Amino acid sequence: MTIAILFKLLGSLALLIYGMKMMSEALQKLAGPSLRHVLGAMTTNRFTGILTGIIVTAAVQSSTATTVMTVSFVNASLLTLSQAISVIMGANIGTTLTAWIMTLAMADGGGGVSFSVTDLVFPSFVVAMFLIYKKRHRIVGDFIFGIAFLFLGLGTLRQTGVDMHLGENPAVLDFFASFDPQSFTTTLIFLLLGGILTMCVQSSAAVMAITMILCSSGALPIYQGIALVMGENIGTTVTSNLAALSASTQARRAAFAHMFFNLFGVAWMLLVFHMFIDAVCGLVGYDVTMTKEIAGQEAFMANAAKLSVVLATFHTCFNVTNTFILVWFVPQIERIVCYVIPDKKRSSKGSSEGASHLQFIEGGLMATPEISVLQAQKEVTHFAERMQRMFGMVVSLVDETDKKEIQRLMEKVAQDEELSDNMELEIAAYLEQVSNDHLSDDTKGKIRSMLRQISELESIGDACYNVSRALNRKREGREEFTPEQTEHLHEMLRLVNEGMARMITIVAGRREDLSIDLSRDIERDINELRNTLKAKNIQDVNAHLYSYALGTLYVDIISSLEKMGDYIMNVVEARLNSSFT
């Protein structure tokens, strides 16, 4: 019997964790783009940032997802670290909704009420099963499955707690009774225990559920239970900081700000621990002084049944109060975080090696499937900007006469060409890793679009390199272009540069605000100029205005520039035909 109950306990915890994960991922798929836009638009000050954190976290049921999304915006320079801190504060408040969901799910329909929320679990499975077979509603079906698994796990966990008779088990009661609830040492022990358990199971929700079961059964006194809850708050931030070790400086700063927020909250809470808990208990109507011996078994258990509400209320009050205290000191928190985690020292090695490091794609905390797409798109934009700078160096080579400067530019173009190869492979590898997760069709389309974009951007790098080599061969031949050739070449470079600038605007922008028409007009002008110049080149060579060899080099450069225009247009089409906004 003991083994059966143990497996039932572990199985219900597994259902709970899986349900939370499935529900959170489905919500991110349903509302990911909208939530990203809300996060970017609603953080004009620290108070709207907090509100945004609350809304987003309550929606996706994951403070970790909100934190990752926030760090993504910081890395993309769309949010400052100060704004990110306020959003993380709001995320801490938003995540308290999970405790209230658990309180609702653990209600047993007592007190004359025959309905329990767990009664909806199996009808929900039936509805979800039909939805997942409909392509348009599959994600909604996943969400319903997730919330049904969540409630089933919580309901089974509650019933398992009842079957274990924890409130009547002498060994359990004696164990908890061995700790003095008024002792500061006891509070620290349970606080540490809550943190360790959360790090072990990687889910503060699971530890919260266990705490609710222990308290509502009458086995765990409220003071130790709340100490466990405080430990859970710290444990979940330790997990985030460990995950962020391999991430960017801004990611580690945001994770540390989350830890600082919770550590500060626990510190002041320890000073007013019993007084604050007694106030919460009074608010809920729980009698802290009631004992089984004096009140009797039935009255004691009825009083203990309120403890899940006490825990949820404390969790909310604690985070709201902590946010109210710290919201006035966001700039100071930012300075502390930046002091503890300074900027990484720039590489003293060669420019190629220093430049080959991707700016927005990092490991650790960043690797959340739906939200990682934003990171990848910012890296694609960064890739496009690098190709634009590379093209600028090619333009400089056309008129440059200083040998040392020419040599420097040639070496830099060669380095950037190699860099473009590496960036394509690194971004593609990252997208491949993200695509291994369960993604929405919309996100899969975004990934296909980005894979095409980076392939075309790498081709732009190749074309730039080819033009630079052709210009170098022309110098080695010691024959210069005629003034008319130079003028036409500059006209072609100007058109390609216009196309490149438009491409950057489109890659970095939102597709519904942009049009492909201007890019098509530029590409048509490039093609027409290419045809005109090739025809004129034949006439000029036949008229002996310059040598056949110089004419061949000239046409090679014009053709490479025209191909560059095609690659630019392919990037634009891939971006605007995708659903990424």
Confidence of residue 387 (pLDDT cuts 50, 70, 90): very high
Cα dihedral across residues 144, 372, 201, 221: positive or negative: negative
Mean pLDDT score, 183-199: 87
Ramachandran class of 564: left when φ > 0, alpha when ψ lies in -120 to 50, beta otherwise: alpha
5-14, 53-62, 365-374, range with greatest mean pLDDT: 5-14
Domain stop point among 319, 340, 361: 340
Check whether residue 235 and residue 373 sit in a common domain.
Answer: no
Least confident span in 91-100, 163-172, 484-493: 163-172
Q: How high is the pLDDT of residue 412? A: 93
Confidence of residue 351 (pLDDT cuts 50, 70, 90): very low
Tell me the percentage of the chain whose pLDDT exceeds 70.
Answer: 79
d(CA 56, CA 31): 10
Beta strands in 77-189 (DSSP E): none
Check whether residue 186 and residue 106 sit in a common domain.
Answer: yes
DSSP 349: S
The answer to whether 65 and 36 are in contact (CB under 8 A) is: no
The answer to whether 412 and 537 are in contact (CB under 8 A) is: no
d(CA 162, CA 137): 37
Average pLDDT value over all residues in the chain: 80
**Is a pLDDT exceeding 80 seen at residue 181?**
no
Residues in Cβ contact with 402 at an 8 Å cutoff, skipping those fewer than 6 apart: none
Check whether residue 120 and residue 191 sit in a common domain.
Answer: yes
237-246, 363-372, 375-384, 517-526, range with greatest mean pLDDT: 517-526
Q: Copy the structure tokens of residue 35.
A: 């939530």
**Is a pLDDT exceeding 90 seen at residue 462?**
yes
Q: Report which of residues 87 and 387 the model is more confident about.
A: 387
Q: Is 176 exposed, middle or buried (0-12, 13-18, 19+ CB in 10 A)?
A: middle
Check whether residue 302 and residue 226 sit in a common domain.
Answer: yes
Q: Is 482 exposed, middle or buried (0-12, 13-18, 19+ CB in 10 A)?
A: middle
Question: Which residue, 430, 427, 434, is CA-closest to 458?
Answer: 427
Question: Which residue, 53, 80, 40, 51, is CA-closest to 335?
Answer: 80
**Is a pLDDT exceeding 70 seen at residue 581?**
no
Domain stop point among 340, 364, 390: 340
309-313, 451-455, 476-480, 508-512, range with greatest mean pLDDT: 451-455
* Element spanning 435, H or E: helix 403-435
d(CA 426, CA 77): 21
**Is a pLDDT exceeding 60 seen at residue 578?**
no
Q: Copy the structure tokens of residue 554.
A: 């000239």
DSSP 346: P
**CA 531 distance to own-chain centroid:** 47
Q: How high is the pLDDT of residue 145? A: 87
Q: How high is the pLDDT of residue 476? A: 82
The answer to whether 260 and 311 are in contact (CB under 8 A) is: no
d(CA 79, CA 254): 12
Check whether residue 190 and residue 162 sit in a common domain.
Answer: yes
Check whether residue 385 and residue 320 sit in a common domain.
Answer: no
Total number of domains constituting the chain:
2
Residue 581, domain member (yes or no) = no
Check whether residue 275 and residue 370 sit in a common domain.
Answer: no
State which amino acid sits at residue 569: M
* DSSP secondary structure, 364-417, as one string: GGG--HHHHHHHHHHHHHHHHHHHHHHHHHHHHHHH---HHHHHHHHHHHHHHH
Residue 217, domain member (yes or no) = yes
d(CA 68, CA 365): 6
Domain extent at residue 450: 351-576
Task: Give the pLDDT confidence of 497-542 residue by residue, as tens digits.
Answer: 999 999 999 998 766 667 889 999 999 999 999 999 999 999 999 9
Check whether residue 478 and residue 503 sit in a common domain.
Answer: yes
Check whether residue 183 and residue 245 sit in a common domain.
Answer: yes
**Is a pLDDT exceeding 50 seen at residue 352?**
no
φ/ψ of residue 272, rounded to 5: -125, 30
Check whether residue 119 and residue 184 sit in a common domain.
Answer: yes
**Is a pLDDT exceeding 80 seen at residue 394?**
yes
The domain that holds 516 is classified in CATH as 1.20.58.220
Residue 175, domain member (yes or no) = yes
Mean pLDDT score, 176-193: 84
Q: How high is the pLDDT of residue 543? A: 92
Residue 555, domain member (yes or no) = yes
The answer to whether 306 and 286 are in contact (CB under 8 A) is: yes
Mean pLDDT score, 337-355: 60
Confidence of residue 453 (pLDDT cuts 50, 70, 90): very high
Residue 486, domain member (yes or no) = yes
Question: Which residue, 524, 504, 526, 510, is CA-closest to 576?
Answer: 510
Q: How high is the pLDDT of residue 240? A: 66
* Element spanning 159, H or E: helix 138-164
Task: Give the pLDDT confidence of 241-289 residue by residue, as tens digits.
Answer: 776 666 667 767 878 888 899 899 999 999 998 899 989 988 888 887 7
Q: Report which of residues 101 and 432 the model is more confident about.
A: 432
The answer to whether 216 and 255 are in contact (CB under 8 A) is: no
Tell me the percentage of the chain whose pLDDT exceeds 90.
Answer: 29
Q: Report which of residues 17 and 361 the model is more confident about.
A: 17
**Is a pLDDT exceeding 60 seen at residue 356?**
no
* DSSP secondary structure, 25-71, as one string: HHHHHHHHHHHHHHHHHS-SSHHHHHHHHHHHHHHHT-HHHHHHHHH
Question: Which residue, 454, 475, 452, 456, is CA-closest to 557?
Answer: 475
Q: Could you tell me the pTM of the whole model?
A: 0.67
Check whether residue 551 and residue 418 sit in a common domain.
Answer: yes
Q: Report which of residues 161 and 136 the model is more confident about.
A: 136
Task: Give the pLDDT confidence of 404-443 residue by residue, as tens digits.
Answer: 998 999 999 999 999 999 999 989 988 888 877 666 677 7
Q: Copy the structure tokens of residue 56.
A: 């987003």
Confidence of residue 110 (pLDDT cuts 50, 70, 90): very low
Q: How high is the pLDDT of residue 533? A: 94
**Is a pLDDT exceeding 90 seen at residue 25?**
no
Q: How high is the pLDDT of residue 579? A: 47
Residue 193, domain member (yes or no) = yes
**Is a pLDDT exceeding 90 seen at residue 558?**
yes
Q: How high is the pLDDT of residue 113? A: 39
Task: Give the pLDDT confidence of 115-136 residue by residue, as tens digits.
Answer: 456 677 888 888 888 888 877 7
Q: How high is the pLDDT of residue 488? A: 94
Q: How high is the pLDDT of residue 22? A: 79
Residue 346, domain member (yes or no) = no
d(CA 50, CA 39): 10
d(CA 324, CA 379): 36
Residue 345, domain member (yes or no) = no
Confidence of residue 16 (pLDDT cuts 50, 70, 90): confident
Q: How high is the pLDDT of residue 393? A: 94
Confidence of residue 571 (pLDDT cuts 50, 70, 90): very high
Tokens 């020292």 locate to: 345
Check whether residue 330 and residue 389 sit in a common domain.
Answer: no
Question: Which residue, 443, 452, 477, is CA-closest to 548?
Answer: 477
Domain stop point among 312, 340, 368: 340
Q: How high is the pLDDT of residue 468? A: 93
